[in-house]
Chains A and B, each alone.
Chain A
Amino acid sequence: MTQSTRKLTMGSLFDGISGFPLASVRCGIEPIWASEIEPFPILVSKIRFPRMEQMGDITKLNGAYLPPVDIICGGSPCQDSAWPDCVPV
């Protein structure tokens, strides 16, 4: 198998409006799946990347069933999940 000719693939967590997939396709990387829970960003993603699979809630994802990818991107929302004692003062 010639690895160099294979297209790189990526999965996007906290996908939003598919910013990471957009940047990826411009770099020749193919987005395979995305995880997002808000309806509007999902709608945008479905329109912009119809072939990208929407996996839904990240807390319900099972890595064993996810299509394997080369790259995983994502930036989790930080304000909500920051605990009071771990917020830098």
Chain B
Amino acid sequence: MQTENLEGQESIFGRDSGFGKMSSALSQVGGTLKRVKKSLGRIFKKSSKRSSKLKNHTFMLLDLRPGAGNMLGAYWEYDPPWLGSFGMLNTSECPKDAVECSLWQILQATAPSRYSLSQTACLGILRRAECRGKSLPPLLEAALRMQAGLDPPAPISGEAKAYHINQRNEGIDLDGVSGALMATQNLQMQTFITNPGSSQSGPQKQIAFAANQRDEVRDLHDVAGALQAQPGLKQQTFVAGFSAGAGASAGTIGYQEDVAPTLKGSPSGNCMPSIFCINDQGGQIMECSEDVTGTLRAQEHGHQPLILRPAEPKVYENHGIDGRYTGPHDVAPTMSARYGTGGNNIPLVQQEEVICIAGNAIDRQPQNGGNGFGWQRDISYTLTTSDRHSVYARQRVDQFRDDEIASTESARQHKDATDLICQPPSIWDTDCRNLIRRLTPLECERLQGYPDGWTDVPGASDSARYKALGNSVAIPCVEYLMQRVAMVITLDLEWDF
């Protein structure tokens, strides 16, 4: 009786399955385990019934007819019951292709100042953090203090350093005074401004690399390498980590169109130092510095944009051969103005760290609201109808381009100078009130996956849009569902006729 059960089980599940092995092992043990066998037999009976049921079940989504193909791809994976498994539905990989999107990508470039947090709100957040003993990120705290007027508007980062690189890859410390940008072809002579670290978060290591034409990458350690932005040459060194406090002396950096667009630091008070280095050698070799912890992730289309995660500087690569930029399009604030930037292999380095502040931590008493820490990096809180979430967006390391275009593309002209030439340092006096702001309705639309301006109908108020968007659904999720629903119905209809 028991043997029959076991045999039947084995015929169903096969030798390779776990239960098959177990049963053969058990049969060797002998009569002392009768009870165990009996109970096992019962289990096997049950499972064999279950599996036969599964075998007869028609999976609606799996069209195995010749030529039909699996329209769903590797979407829900079914373990075929006849192979000895238990027909478990493996839903773990659904959906398979994760769509990655960072918050900084959806942020609006120029948000009206009315979305900025008031002084009271900033003070409230600081007070709440103090009352509750919850620490704020240093960057956020510094920004909050500045926006609240507690601290004078000042660059958070430390003193600027400038170096000059000559052809022998020797770095010369220019002692804070920026040298001229050498717009020479084929030479590795350029000056860079580096940042020795943030006074708030402690000194940070700067790493720079220089690439030469022989595909060698040199670690320049603390000295910023030269940016070889020459068309057609396999030479580039991308160094981020330039200083905010470039000062007036930075304005003397020469610039020549189409020759050497350089990376620069945004010279505003809220610019943070970053450690970041990507070396692009004409698409053949990509190197990045050791300190970059994020995954170097290549996206699918064309020449890969490089995205360093998490919450680390992001790079978009422009591949020089066809003059295309790749990367998340139409969403990142400076992206739209990056086309036709002249010169090849010019990377667009974008560095933004976004800190979200929970909406219910704002304008409330310390004892009310604000679950958890009240802030988190790079992930927006769930939109609600009542709360207005805030973001603190870290500044970019932007491209350095000629005046005309730079002035239109610099997304945050109202709060920092993204162009060393046309923005006087005195803008610091007025720009520190807009560091932290609420999410705008447009950003909420993007967060929910709506097209830009979906709710921006005539007569729409901000509060109405916030409410409607908070009550709404996330489009990508619904779209994912609707695709499947449509597919099932379509298949069903086809089979009925």
A22 sits at the interface (CB 8 A): yes
B172 sits at the interface (CB 8 A): no
B482–A3 CB distance below 8 A: no
Q: How far is the CB of A32 from chain B (nearest CB, A)?
A: 15
Residues of A within 8 A of B496 (CB): 3
A63 sits at the interface (CB 8 A): no
- B161-210 contacts to A, CB under 8 A, are none
* Bound CA–CA A36/B478 (angstroms): 18
* Bound CA–CA A40/B463 (angstroms): 11
Residues of B within 8 A of A48 (CB): 454
Q: How far is the CB of B53 from chain A (nearest CB, A)?
A: 29
Residues of B within 8 A of A17 (CB): 450, 454-455, 468-469, 472
Q: Mark A13-57, 1 if CB is under 8 A from B, else 0.
A: 000110110111011110000000010110110011000000000
B493–A19 CB distance below 8 A: no
Residues of A within 8 A of B494 (CB): 3-4
Q: How far is the CB of A7 from chain B (nearest CB, A)?
A: 10
The closest CB in chain B to the CB of A16 belongs to B472
- B439-460 contacts to A, CB under 8 A, are 448, 450, 454-455, 457, 459-460
B497–A23 CB distance below 8 A: no
B493–A20 CB distance below 8 A: no
Chain B CB within 10 A, most for which of A4, A16, A22, A29: A22
A75 sits at the interface (CB 8 A): yes
The B interface, classified by DSSP as helix, strand, loop or mixed, is helix
A16-B472, A44-B454 as given contacts; A4 in contact with B493, CB under 8 Å: yes
* Bound CA–CA A75/B467 (angstroms): 16
The closest CB in chain B to the CB of A43 belongs to B457
A71 sits at the interface (CB 8 A): yes
Residues of A within 8 A of B469 (CB): 17
B478–A19 CB distance below 8 A: yes
Chain B CB within 10 A, most for which of A4, A26, A27, A29: A27
Q: Mark A74-89, 1 if CB is under 8 A from B, else 0.
A: 0101000000000000
B88 sits at the interface (CB 8 A): no
The closest CB in chain A to the CB of B484 belongs to A27
B486–A22 CB distance below 8 A: no
Q: Which of these, B454, B471, B486, contacts A29 with CB under 8 Å? A: B486
Q: Which of these, B471, B475, B481, B497, contacts A22 with CB under 8 Å? A: B475
Please count how many residues in chain B sit with their CB below 8 Å of the partner chain's CB atoms. Answer: 30
B473 sits at the interface (CB 8 A): yes
Q: How far is the CB of B492 from chain A (nearest CB, A)?
A: 9
B489–A71 CB distance below 8 A: yes
* Bound CA–CA A77/B454 (angstroms): 21
* Bound CA–CA A28/B475 (angstroms): 15
B490 sits at the interface (CB 8 A): yes
Please count how many residues in chain A sit with their CB below 8 Å of the partner chain's CB atoms. Answer: 28
Q: How far is the CB of A61 from chain B (nearest CB, A)?
A: 20
Q: How far is the CB of A28 from chain B (nearest CB, A)?
A: 6
Residues of A within 8 A of B471 (CB): 16, 41, 77
* Bound CA–CA A56/B467 (angstroms): 19
A23-B475, A28-B486 as given contacts; A40 in contact with B448, CB under 8 Å: no
A20-B473, A23-B475 as given contacts; A44 in contact with B483, CB under 8 Å: no
Residues of B within 8 A of A23 (CB): 473, 475, 478-479, 481-482
A3-B496, A20-B473 as given contacts; A44 in contact with B468, CB under 8 Å: yes
Residues of B within 8 A of A77 (CB): 471
Residues of A within 8 A of B455 (CB): 17, 44
* Bound CA–CA A61/B430 (angstroms): 56
A40–B486 CB distance below 8 A: no
* Bound CA–CA A8/B485 (angstroms): 10
B464–A19 CB distance below 8 A: no
Chain B CB within 10 A, most for which of A3, A16, A17, A73: A17
B473–A75 CB distance below 8 A: yes
A47–B486 CB distance below 8 A: no
A40-B460, A41-B468, A43-B457 as given contacts; A20 in contact with B478, CB under 8 Å: yes
Residues of A within 8 A of B467 (CB): 40
* Bound CA–CA A24/B467 (angstroms): 22
Q: How far is the CB of A56 from chain B (nearest CB, A)?
A: 17
Q: Mark B418-454, 1 if CB is under 8 A from A, else 0.
A: 0000000000000000000000000000001010001
Residues of A within 8 A of B497 (CB): 2-4
* Bound CA–CA A2/B467 (angstroms): 43
Q: How far is the CB of A20 from chain B (nearest CB, A)?
A: 6
Q: How far is the CB of A85 from chain B (nearest CB, A)?
A: 25
A8-B489, A27-B482, A71-B489 as given contacts; A19 in contact with B457, CB under 8 Å: no
Chain A CB within 10 A, most for which of B469, B471, B496: B471
Residues of B within 8 A of A6 (CB): 493
| New contact pairs (6) apart from A22-B478, A38-B468, A40-B465, CB-CB < 8 Å | A8-B486, A16-B468, A17-B450, A41-B468, A73-B482, A77-B471
B interface residues, Cβ below 8 angstroms from A: 448, 450, 454-455, 457, 459-460, 464-465, 467-469, 471-475, 478-479, 481-483, 485-486, 489-490, 493-494, 496-497
A-B CB contact pairs (8 Å), 24 listed: A4-B493, A6-B493, A8-B490, A17-B468, A19-B450, A19-B478, A20-B473, A22-B475, A23-B473, A23-B478, A26-B479, A27-B483, A27-B485, A27-B486, A28-B486, A29-B482, A40-B464, A40-B467, A40-B468, A41-B468, A43-B457, A71-B486, A71-B489, A75-B473
